[in-house]
Amino acid sequence: MSILVNKNSKVIVQGITGAEGEFHTKQMLEYGTNVVGGVTPGKGGHKTIDETINVYNSVEESVTDTGANTSIIFVPPPFAADAIIESSYAGIDLIVCITEGVPIQDMVKVKQVVEKNGTRLIGPNCPGIITVDECKLGIMPGFICQKGNIGVVSKSGTLTYEAIDQLVNSGLGQTTAIGIGGDPIIGTSMKDCLELFQKDTETEGVVIIGEIGGQMEIEAAQWAKENMSKPIAGFIAGQTAPPGKRMGHAGAIVSGGNDTAKAKMDFLEKCDIAVSESVADIGALMKSLMN
């Protein structure tokens, strides 16, 4: 089992003929991801990636021809929202948007569309998702992962990789790891991921990596306290960030309420989530919870 993606996911790449799209498509194919086509308006009818992948003018064409149910987006920020909306209306079930810098006002419209159509969106501004040894969607380095029974969900891309490395060093593998992104408006929340991991029979524990700003970790922790039967290890980044200072992600700005690192760490602990003060200890903490 896994969540959201597996070896049977039929993937199209929007922006496949761009430099990033082409590079990461090759990486995904090497990992074993079932990429069935690509989309670049105006380049339909061509082939790319050593003449192995068909390019289509629209998502609708690619879905009709390949039966694709999953899309990953590598297009510039001004066009990312339209790319998401196009996929949603074409019937794609899961969309992963890697693009950084998508305007907030664009995401307001996107959020309405995907919720109306029942589309699952991960991102934007995220590293993607990987179900170990089955499917890699995005820019995560697949070689650092090891198949196992721990789910990972993180706002931060690089801290996702660090958490995975710490887990592997502690002898723990992963089922699925998700980088949900750190923008103010994203498609899939931490709580959403916990719900999916709770239902997954192979996932026996979860690592959550949060950060300052917003209420996402608070909402996830509250839900977990009331509904989660699996152990959770958590870490909150930005412990030294001053109030009012934006740190990295567009959503990581402290307003002075319960969105500080300390406030979130305290709340997680009140909700029976084990909290690590250092990301370097997250693997050992998770291992202690699994014993």
DSSP string for residues in 173-235: -EEEEEE---SSS-SS-HHHHHHHHHH-SS--EEEEEEESSSSHHHHHHHHHHHH--S-EEEE
Cα–Cα distances (Å) from 172 to 88, 147, 233, 287, in that order, read 36, 8, 13, 7
Segment 20-74, tens digit of pLDDT:
999 999 999 999 999 999 999 999 999 999 999 999 999 999 999 999 999 999 9
Burial class (CB in 10 A: 0-12, 13-18, 19+), 245: exposed
Q: Which domains does the chain have, with CATH numbers?
A: 11-122 (3.40.50.720), 141-290 (3.40.50.261)
Which among 249, 254, 265, 282 is annotated as catalytic? 249
Q: What pLDDT does residue 212 have?
A: 84
Round to whole Å and give the CA distance between 215 and 114.
Answer: 21
Cα–Cα distances (Å) from 70 to 127, 140, 253, in that order, read 16, 17, 32
Question: Percentage of the chain with pLDDT > 70?
Answer: 93
Question: What's 139's DSSP letter?
Answer: S
Round to whole Å and give the CA distance between 144 and 168.
Answer: 8
pLDDT at 258 over 70: no
At 136, the pLDDT band (50, 70, 90 cuts) reads very high
Burial class (CB in 10 A: 0-12, 13-18, 19+), 229: exposed
Which residues contact residue 269 at a Cβ distance below 8 angstroms, ignoring those fewer than 6 apart? 275
Kindly report the number of other CB atoms within 10 A of residue 100's CB atom.
17
Cβ atoms of 111 and 117 within 8 Å: the answer is: no
Segment 209-256, tens digit of pLDDT:
998 888 899 999 999 999 999 999 999 987 766 665 555 555 545 455
**The one-letter amino acid at 15:** G
Burial class (CB in 10 A: 0-12, 13-18, 19+), 171: exposed
Strand partners, 39: 14, 56
Q: What pLDDT does residue 255 have?
A: 52
Q: What pLDDT does residue 246 have?
A: 54
What would the mean pLDDT of 143-154 be, rounded to a whole number? 97
Of residues 171 and 2, more confidently modeled: 171
99-103, 128-132, 160-164, 211-215, range with the lowest pLDDT: 211-215
| Assessment of whether the complete model's pTM goes beyond 0.85 | yes
At 265, the pLDDT band (50, 70, 90 cuts) reads very high
What would the mean pLDDT of 146-156 be, rounded to a whole number? 96
Whether residue 249 lies in the annotated active site: yes
Take residue 254 and report the two structure tokens written for it.
């402290």
